């Protein structure tokens, strides 16, 4: 039975979702408000316009999580990856594209597809219920009327308009000979144990050097249309440092209620705390460290923190305009809005980050919609795959906020990375069976993760295709 599925937003996610719907034999109505209404960031009316970089990042499917995501999307007949491959420009090991050629290829493919209808004009407010199944993929610059409709339906706290991001560190890169687990005053908090934070201590000299580095470090300015979205409880770490040398140690770096078990008689001058960021316990965020420092400065300065000298970052900090849902609370495992299941969401508005990740979520939203229309819902994606890890993070893989006063939202946008994958059942070993350390261990671990992902995605695809071939239940 052929069904009409509306897709709102002609960016990477919406374009990919429309393609998946159309290729499955259903009618895709793709709504794109440009050029009737423009945005502050877009320059053209082309679908899937790249408004920032022209890079899709690493194309290495064996040593990089985004490269693995590329491979998985290609295996699921992604239009975005097909257009990217056809418009590639030299970029070493990265996949970079001619942005105009890429957008033109996506636009042409959708305009020429017999199952796609492209409608130019703004969808003001929520899509009407009479449309039936609909995918909202309006991105970080969602029009105000639609954003307000979402908030009215889901609650005032459901939508963030500025993305205040603290850096996130891979747990296995933190030096546990320096850091220790403890909650302030050993308070367990909701669902905690009393040892829920990793603590990195600083003496007076280290703290003063750190504050000086924050104040003098190179920063990124706000775009004119963003304004300056500082709000109480979420100031950039360097802005707090500029307000006085003692501000941080009486704020997010306060040492009170914490005792270093390795030197209990010496009180640290300041302490950097890291809080578990995902349910797997593989990622920890730096509490209160949202920042406008450049990425290079963040790495340089934050690696001066004792215990983080060899820190590997799953993502770095930032503060910029970015409309996104509190997806773990609002969406189900197939990206449907719990308050109105006929609506699915895809792309950056769900809390993923990056071109490829946005398109990947659009791909899965399209496939979820198609499977539902056929009466054969898809089995959950294995979290061991890049696609599955990304969807699992969006729909529930984070750790909820711990109830602290003025605590920022715990769910924040994230690029795909190996920290979102379940750990391997056993550590990788070389041909002789010897356990490895250092770079050799890291390389073999990534290879083991990607080998597991490919096998699990192949098994999932086999099951999904089998379900798709079965006739739908009679009406």
* pLDDT digits 0-9 by tens, 443-461: 889 999 999 999 999 999 9
Tokens encoding 17: 């979702």
Give pLDDT, residue 61. Answer: 95
Q: Binding site for FAD: residue ranges?
A: 9-14
Average confidence (pLDDT) over 200-218: 96
Q: How far apart are CA 380 and CA 401, in angstroms?
A: 26
Class of residue 437 by CB neighbours under 10 A (exposed 0-12, middle 13-18, buried 19+): exposed
pLDDT greater than 80 at residue 231: no
| pLDDT 10s digits, 40-75 | 656 688 999 987 777 899 999 999 999 999 999 999
- With tokens 């990206």, the residue in question is 335
Cβ neighbours around 143 below 10 Å, total: 19
Give pLDDT, residue 162. Answer: 62
Average pLDDT, the chain: 86
Tokens encoding 78: 């992604």
Class of residue 294 by CB neighbours under 10 A (exposed 0-12, middle 13-18, buried 19+): middle
Q: Binding site: residue ranges?
A: 9-14
Give pLDDT, residue 435. Answer: 67
Closest-CA residue to 164 (of 289, 5, 19): 289
pTM of the model: 0.75
Q: What percent of the chain has pLDDT over 70?
A: 85
Average confidence (pLDDT) over 127-142: 91
Q: Kindly provide the b/e burial profile for residues 231-268, where b requires at least 16 CB atoms within 10 angstroms of the residue's own CB.
A: eeebbbbbbbbeeeeebbbeebbebeebbbeeeeeeeb
Average confidence (pLDDT) over 173-196: 82
Sign of CA dihedral 229, 235, 238, 244: positive
- Whether residue 282 contacts residue 419, with contact meaning beta carbons closer than 8 Å, is answered with yes
Give pLDDT, residue 401. Answer: 53
Give pLDDT, residue 253. Answer: 95
């Amino acid at each position: 039975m052929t069904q009409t599925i509306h897709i709102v937003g002609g960016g990477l996610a919406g374009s990919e979702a429309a393609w998946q719907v159309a290729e499955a034999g259903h009618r895709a109505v793709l709504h794109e408000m440009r050029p009737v209404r423009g945005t502050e960031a877009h320059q053209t009316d082309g679908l899937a316009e790249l408004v920032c970089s022209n890079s899709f990042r690493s194309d290495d499917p064996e040593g990089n999580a985004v490269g693995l995501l590329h491979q998985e999307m290609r295996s699921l007949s992604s239009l975005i990856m097909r257009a990217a491959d056809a418009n590639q420009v030299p970029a070493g090991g990265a996949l970079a594209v001619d942005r105009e050629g890429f957008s033109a290829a996506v636009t042409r493919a959708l305009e020429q597809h017999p199952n796609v209808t492209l409608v130019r004009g703004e969808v003001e407010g929520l899509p009407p219920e009479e449309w039936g199944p609909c995918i909202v993929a309006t991105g970080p610059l969602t029009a105000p009327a639609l954003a307000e409709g979402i908030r009215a339906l889901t609650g005032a706290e459901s939508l963030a308009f500025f993305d205040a991001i603290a850096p996130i560190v891979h747990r296995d890169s933190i030096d546990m000979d320096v850091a220790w687990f403890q909650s302030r005053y050993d308070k367990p908090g909701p669902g905690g144990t009393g040892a829920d934070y990793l603590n990195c201590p600083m003496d007076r000299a280290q703290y003063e050097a750190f504050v000086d580095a924050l104040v003098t470090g190179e920063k990124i300015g706000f775009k004119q249309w963003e304004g300056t979205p500082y709000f109480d409880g979420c100031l950039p770490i360097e802005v707090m440092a500029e307000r006085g040398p003692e501000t941080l140690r009486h704020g997010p770096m306060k040492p009170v209620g914490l005792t270093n078990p390795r030197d209990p008689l010496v009180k640290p001058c300041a302490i950097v705390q890291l809080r578990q960021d995902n349910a797997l316990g593989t990622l920890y965020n730096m509490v209160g460290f949202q920042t406008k420092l450049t990425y290079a400065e963040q790495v340089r300065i934050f690696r001066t923190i004792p215990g983080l000298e060899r820190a590997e970052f799953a993502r770095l900090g930032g503060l910029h305009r970015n409309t996104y849902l509190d997806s773990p609370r609002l969406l189900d495992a197939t990206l449907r809005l719990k308050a109105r299941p006929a609506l699915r969401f895809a792309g950056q508005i769900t809390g993923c980050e990056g071109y490829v990740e946005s398109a990947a979520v659009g791909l899965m939203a399209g496939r979820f919609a198609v499977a539902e229309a056929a009466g054969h819902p898809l089995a959950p994606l294995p979290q061991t795959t890049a696609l599955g890890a990304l969807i699992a993070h969006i729909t529930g893989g984070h750790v909820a906020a711990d109830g602290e006063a003025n605590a920022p939202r715990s769910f924040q946008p994230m690029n795909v990375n190996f920290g979102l994958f379940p750990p391997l059942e056993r550590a990788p070993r070389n041909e002789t069976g010897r356990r490895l350390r250092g770079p050799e261990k890291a390389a073999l671990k990534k290879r083991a993760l990607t080998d597991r992902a490919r096998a699990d995605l192949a098994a999932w695809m086999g099951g999904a295709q089998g379900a798709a071939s079965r006739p739908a239940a009679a009406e």
